[in-house]
Amino acid sequence: MHGAATGTPGATRVARSAGLILGWACLMAAAPLDSVLAATEPGASPPDVLVDFDIPAQPLEAALNEYGAVTRLPALYPSDLPMGLYSASVQGRYSPHDALRQLLQGTGVVVEKLGDADGGVYRLRRATPSPSTAGTGLSVSAGSARVTGYLSRLHASVMQALCRDARTAPGDYEAMFRVAVDARGRAAQASLVGSSGDAQRDAVLLATLRQVRTSSPPPASANVPYLFTLRPAAPGTPLPCGAPVLGAP
């Protein structure tokens, strides 16, 4: 949600270890994402439609949860991003994008839009990343301990699947993808939203994601597709898969 659209991450390749960002629910639950999130969560507010907001100034995480409950639009942000920050109030009729920008005033957090499709995916980040927060791994915001526990298991399952094959092991590429798990704990959907920059790796990545299994099915409140972003980590950060990376099966 920067003021301008930026397109999906893809072609940039960085020879560093990678973290995995997971976006969740009110704000962050991604519903069917065909190319660049062609649709958001059911009931999501179109980006150009004015919506009534009545969000008081409060801790930023609580304000983001309120915003997400109103708009049902997906966004990504590191779980530690809201810590210690206080939102501005948003009262009146705004587009979802303008409301989010208003909410973030004075926080030092900026918003950028990923992709050109209606709704898009919004990503929040600090205007100037600090060394202490750069390159963090799992990014998730959840409304309950039960959902948080499921997301942690899903994250671990995705990372385990990626680390089984040297071609998909995080470390030298960026990618954005979505995964949905069915009632049996198996990946029911896996689709690439942002290319890794290598068509062959993209194909292997999709095949790998379709093999994701979790130890238990998602709770009803978490039974939606989730949007993941693989990104480079800060220099000196340990490789997420360890070393050496497991070879291809």
**187 neighbors 211 (Cβ within 8 angstroms):** yes
**Residue 81 confidence (pLDDT):** 78
Is residue 9 in a domain? no
Is residue 182 in a domain? yes
The CA distance from 195 to 245, in Å, is 22
Tokens 């092991």: give the residue: 169
pTM of the model: 0.50
DSSP states along 142-208: -SSHHHHHHHHHHHHHHHHHHHTSTTT-SSS--EEEEEEE-TTSBEEEEEEEE--S-HHHHHHHHHH
- Taking the CB of residue 121, how many other CB atoms lie within 10 A of it? 28
| Number of domains composing the chain | 2
Report which residue type is found at 94: Y
**Residue 68 confidence (pLDDT):** 83
**Same domain, yes or no, for 152 and 81?**
no
**Residue 78 confidence (pLDDT):** 73
**Residue 88 confidence (pLDDT):** 87
Q: What is the domain extent for residue 114? A: 51-126
**Residue 120 confidence (pLDDT):** 59
**Same domain, yes or no, for 107 and 183?**
no
Tokens 């990923």: give the residue: 114
**Same domain, yes or no, for 152 and 224?**
yes
Structure tokens at 37: 């999130």
The strand pair at 121-126 and 75-76 is best described as parallel
**Residue 201 confidence (pLDDT):** 93
Which region holds residue 123: left if phi is over 0, alpha if psi is between -120 and 50, else beta? beta
**First-to-final CA distance of the chain:** 40
**Residue 24 confidence (pLDDT):** 35
Structure tokens at 131: 């060394």
pLDDT mean for each 10 residues of the chain (249 residues): 32 32 35 27 61 89 85 74 83 90 86 62 70 36 51 82 88 80 85 87 93 82 69 65 46
3-state secondary structure of 8: coil
**Same domain, yes or no, for 147 and 103?**
no
Report which residue type is found at 127: A
**Same domain, yes or no, for 170 and 217?**
yes
Residue 191: φ, ψ to 5°: -145, 150
Q: Residue 107 sits in a domain of what CATH number?
A: 3.55.50.30
Q: Output the CA–CA distances (angstroms, integers) from residue 227 to 30, 121, 137, 195, in the order listed.
A: 6, 9, 14, 14
Is residue 34 in a domain? no
Tokens 């069917």: give the residue: 32
Q: pLDDT tens across 111-134, in order?
A: 887 655 445 567 888 876 443 333
**Residue 54 confidence (pLDDT):** 94
